[in-house]
């Protein structure tokens, strides 16, 4: 049997993270495409979708950093958003059509008191206009085609929920939440609990894990950089999102084993290492692999070419 030749990737080998301040009315996938086009990178992905009408922190993974995307997807996220009272919309944001109205406007005190009911682990029903799959179809595709369906409730966790500004027709908030939380659903649901209607009129993500707005650059700035300055100065280390993963020092021989997908016997790792824990296998300051220790071996689950 003829052996297939190794596929050669086109583009530059860039490894690490870049934090983009996603512009208004641009989808996350389009931001990824723009970053790939500007940098000519071999491989690019993102760490958590933002709605087209949302702005803010969108972590972009290059090369080997794409292997660490699950860790940023699981991270806590912080949003600032504004609820407009008096209308409910099909998309739960300003893009949708008005589907209900109310003349009631909640007081500042009522809002502050109601926020407490949204703290901790709560159940929420994601918007019908979302990327959730139902029987293999995207919910937003089904909604746009007029299909009748229900989106199942899911559990999410709200760590903090603050009222930032109040006026009669609008209120602005900041929320820190777990993965899977839909801010549009939070806005819709708190409005209903307050005896009115509401939708998200502005949404900005200010933090994803360790990434925040201070680290972001715009796509316009990125375009300037690729023509005038070393991009490496803006690329964050692949390990930036692995701060909570314990490091495990390995020898050159062990590193070679792991890079080839081989296991290291448990007797050859420090006795303090815990079974079932994920470790960063490190050769000095170089990331070799993410590994899991079982009863007999240290097994690589993600190997890095850095």
Cα atoms found within 13 Å of the Cα of residue 199, Cβ hemisphere only:
20
Instruction: Give me the half-sphere count of Cα atoms (radius 13 Å) on the Cβ side of residue 23.
Output: 12
Residue 169 annotated in active site: no
Buried b (16+ CB within 10 A) or exposed e, 175-198: bbbeeebbbbbbbbbbbeebebbb
DSSP 8-state class, residue 221: H
On whether the CB atoms of residues 220 and 34 are closer than 8 A, the answer is no
Are the C-beta atoms of residues 248 and 269 closer than 8 Å to each other? yes
50: nearest Cα among 86, 19, 89: 19
Phi–psi pair at 38, nearest 5 degrees? -70, -40
CA distances from 39 to 108, 167, 205, 227 (A): 47, 44, 24, 10
CA 241 to CA 262: how far, in whole Å?
Answer: 25
177, β-bridge pairs: 77, 158
Q: Among 15, 21, 51, 189, which one carries the catalytic annotation? A: 51
Place of tokens 């715009």: 218
State how far the Cα of 117 lies from the Cα of 126, in Å rounded to an integer: 18
Residue 220 token pair: 């316009």
Q: Which residues are catalytic, by number?
A: 51
């Amino acid at each position: 049997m003829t052996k297939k030749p190794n596929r050669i990737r086109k583009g530059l080998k860039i490894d690490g993270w870049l934090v983009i301040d996603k512009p208004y009315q641009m989808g996350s996938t389009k931001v990824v495409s723009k970053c790939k086009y500007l940098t000519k990178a071999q491989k690019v992905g993102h760490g958590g979708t933002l709605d087209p009408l949302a702005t803010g922190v969108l972590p972009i993974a290059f090369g080997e950093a794409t292997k660490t995307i699950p860790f940023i997807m699981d991270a806590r996220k912080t949003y600032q958003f504004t609820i407009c009272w008096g209308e409910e919309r099909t998309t739960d944001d300003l893009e949708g059509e008005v589907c209900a109205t109310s003349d009631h406007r909640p007081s500042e005190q009522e809002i502050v008191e109601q926020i407490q009911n949204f703290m901790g682990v709560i159940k929420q029903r994601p918007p019908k206009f979302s990327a959730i799959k139902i029987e293999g179809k995207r919910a937003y595709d089904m909604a746009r085609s007029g299909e009748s369906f229900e989106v199942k409730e899911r559990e999410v966790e709200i760590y903090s929920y603050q009222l930032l500004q109040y006026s009669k027709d609008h209120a602005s908030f900041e929320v820190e939440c777990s993965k899977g939380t839909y801010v549009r659903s939070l806005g819709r649901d708190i409005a209903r609990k307050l005896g009115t209607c509401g939708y998200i009129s502005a949404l900005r993500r200010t933090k994803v894990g360790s990434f925040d707005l201070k680290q972001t650059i715009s796509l316009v700035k990125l375009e300037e950089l690729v023509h005038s300055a070393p991009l490496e100065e803006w690329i964050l280390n692949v390990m930036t999102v692995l701060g909570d993963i314990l490091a495990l020092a390995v020898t050159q021989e062990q590193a070679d084993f792991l890079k080839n997908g081989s296991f290291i016997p448990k007797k050859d790792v420090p006795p303090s290492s815990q079974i079932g824990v994920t470790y960063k296998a490190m050769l000095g300051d170089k990331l070799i692999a993410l590994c899991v220790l079982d009863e007999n071996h240290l097994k690589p689950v993600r190997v890095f070419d850095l």
